[in-house]
Amino acid sequence: MREQLEKIKLEALEEIKEATNSQRIDEIRVKYLGKKGSLTTILRGMGSLSPEERPIIGKLANEVREFIEEEINNALSNIKNKERELKIKGEYIDITMPGKKVEIGGIHPLNKVLDEIKDIFFGMGFSIAEGPEVELDYYNFEALNVPKNHPARDEQDTFYISENLVLRTQTSPIQVRTMEKTKPPIRIIAPGRVYRSDAVDATHSPIFYQIEGLVVDKGITMANLKGTLETFAKRFFGEKTRTKFRPHHFPFTEPSAEMDVSCFVCGGEGCRVCKGSGWIEILGCGMVHPDVLTKGGIDPEEYSGFAFGMGLDRIVMIKYGIDDIRLLYENDIRFLKQF
């Protein structure tokens, strides 16, 4: 019996080795370990053994059974691995074929850049204010120290709706409107459409966008103005951006300045975009004129503030290298798809 067991073990091993698919392994399992399998048959004949031999042969038979089971399991997992590998090999696809897309649209470049600018100012604690586009002459001009017949009115060709109603020529009327509604501290930006009766050409549009900014609080200084706008410039144009503040004049700020940024196209070396100067004029700014604070119901002896305004269209055009402002308002889909 001992020999029989050894023989079964060897035979089974031989057959397992030769098996190439899982079906054959199953057959082998049945042949040796099944109810009518050879090993089972032998165990049934154990009754004829002496009581001394029975535990020894029993133990041996179990060992053989465990051995065959293990071999079968090993073989099975090998074969499964092979079969899986084979399956995988047959399933190669051309991964360079195009993906299945849902067509996605896009935000207009003006709003895309505006969103970016808004995010930067959010990060600095600014909220967004809004105001009417058909504006009272009072807010657009008079409250900003530009009375009727002021020469500055000639510089901004104004569309009139009536004697006292204009299409706002700038976003600055939001300054006094905001001050009337809000107690300091004030920290807002106000983007929006503005209107000037310019004839249309590659650099002029009768409608364009400005972004106004206003900060009013106790102890606001010109150093704060520089700090805020410099931070904006670095976040928007890149950390290496340098800024230059030049004195200027606006009726509603005092002192007033214009801010240039180092050309982000050439880095300040001089190129076509910056007309060789290495600098690009970006915005006008200044400390809020005490008259304007007063008109907004804020005591200039207690509070001070700064304001700034920039043209969005110009920034968008420079940023994307767009050479004709009309493209922004014409909305050719091939243009819009580029942003």
Partner 1 sequence: MKVPYNWLLEYVDIEKDIREVADALTMSGSKVEEVIEYGKEIDKVVTGYVEKIEKHPNADKLRVCQVNVGEEVIQIVTGAENVQEGDTVPVALHGSTLPGGVKIKKGKLRGVDSNGMLCSEAELGIADDDSVHGIMILPKGTPIGVDIKEILGLKGGILDFEITSNRADCFGIYGIAREASATFRLPLKEIKTSFKENDENIKDYVDVEVKDDLCRRYAARVIKNVKIGPSPEWMQQRLMDAGVRPINNIVDITNYVMLELGQPMHAFDHRFINGKRIIVRRAEDGEKFTTLDGVERTLDSSMLVIADEKGAVAVAGVMGGLNSEIKDDTTIVVFECANFNGPNVRLTAKKLGLRTESSSRFEKDLDPNLVDLALDRACHLVEALEIGEVVGGKIDIYKNPVKPYTLEVDPNWINEFIGINISKEEMADMLKYLGMKVEVGEKLKIEVPTFRQDIRIKEDVAEEIARLYGYDKIPTEKIKGEAVEAALTKEQRLTNIIRNVLVSRGFFEINTYSFVSPKIFDKIRLPEDSPLRNTVKILNPLGEDFSIMRTTLIPSILETLRINYARDNKEVKIFEVAKTYHPAENMPYEPVKLSIGMIGKVDFFDLKGVIENILYVLGIDKVDYERDEENPGLHPGRCAKLIVRRKPIGYFGEVHPEVAENYEIEDRIYVAEIGLMPLFEAYKAERKYKPLPKYPAVDRDIAVLVKDEVAVAEIEDIIWKIGKEIVEEVKLFDVYKGKQVPEGMKSVAYSIIYRREDRTLTDEEVNKVHESIIKSLSEKLGAQLR
Select the binding partner of residue 274 from partner 1, Zn ion, none (C-beta < 5 to 8 A, by kind): Zn ion
Whether the Cβ atoms of residue 225 and residue 213 lie closer than 8 Å to each other = no
Per-residue DSSP letters for 172-223? THHHHHHHHH-PSSEEEEEEEEEE--PPPSSS--SEEEEEEEEEEETT--HH
Whether the Cβ atoms of residue 208 and residue 198 lie closer than 8 Å to each other = no
Identify which of residues 87 and 101 has a Cβ nearer to partner 1 in the complex: 101
Identify which of residues 132 and 270 has a Cβ nearer to Zn ion in the complex: 270
Per-position b or e across 165-191, b if 16+ CB within 10 A of its CB: ebbbbbbbbbbbbbbeebebebbbbbb
Q: φ and ψ at 290, to 5 degrees?
A: -55, -30
Tallying the residues shown for the chain, one arrives at 339
Select the binding partner of residue 332 from partner 1, Zn ion, none (C-beta < 5 to 8 A, by kind): partner 1
Minimum distance from residue 233 beta carbon to Zn ion (Å): 15
160: which 2 tokens? 């009139």
Minimum distance from residue 273 beta carbon to Zn ion (Å): 5
Identify which of residues 207 and 273 has a Cβ nearer to Zn ion in the complex: 273
Cβ neighbours of residue 102 closer than 8 Å, sequence gap 6 or more: none
**Sign, CA torsion 114/116/122/126:** negative
Interacting residue ranges for Zn ion, rule: CB under 5 A? 263, 265-266, 271, 273-274
Hey, what amino acid is at 105? G
Select the binding partner of residue 265 from Zn ion, partner 1, none (C-beta < 5 to 8 A, by kind): Zn ion
Select the binding partner of residue 206 from partner 1, Zn ion, none (C-beta < 5 to 8 A, by kind): partner 1
Identify which of residues 142 and 217 has a Cβ nearer to partner 1 in the complex: 217
Identify which of residues 32 and 121 has a Cβ nearer to partner 1 in the complex: 121
Minimum distance from residue 79 beta carbon to partner 1 (Å): 40
Mapped onto helix, strand or coil, the DSSP state of residue 81 is helix
Minimum distance from residue 73 beta carbon to partner 1 (Å): 39
Minimum distance from residue 275 beta carbon to Zn ion (Å): 8
Select the binding partner of residue 226 from partner 1, Zn ion, none (C-beta < 5 to 8 A, by kind): partner 1
Select the binding partner of residue 128 from partner 1, Zn ion, none (C-beta < 5 to 8 A, by kind): partner 1
Minimum distance from residue 316 beta carbon to partner 1 (Å): 11
Identify which of residues 26 and 138 has a Cβ nearer to partner 1 in the complex: 138
Minimum distance from residue 339 beta carbon to Zn ion (Å): 22
Identify which of residues 97 and 102 has a Cβ nearer to partner 1 in the complex: 102
Per-position b or e across 205-221, b if 16+ CB within 10 A of its CB: bebbbbbbbbbbeeebe
Whose structure tokens read 């099975």? 76
In 3D space, the residue among 27, 6, 39 whose CA is nearest the CA of residue 72 turns out to be: 27
Select the binding partner of residue 287 from Zn ion, partner 1, none (C-beta < 5 to 8 A, by kind): partner 1
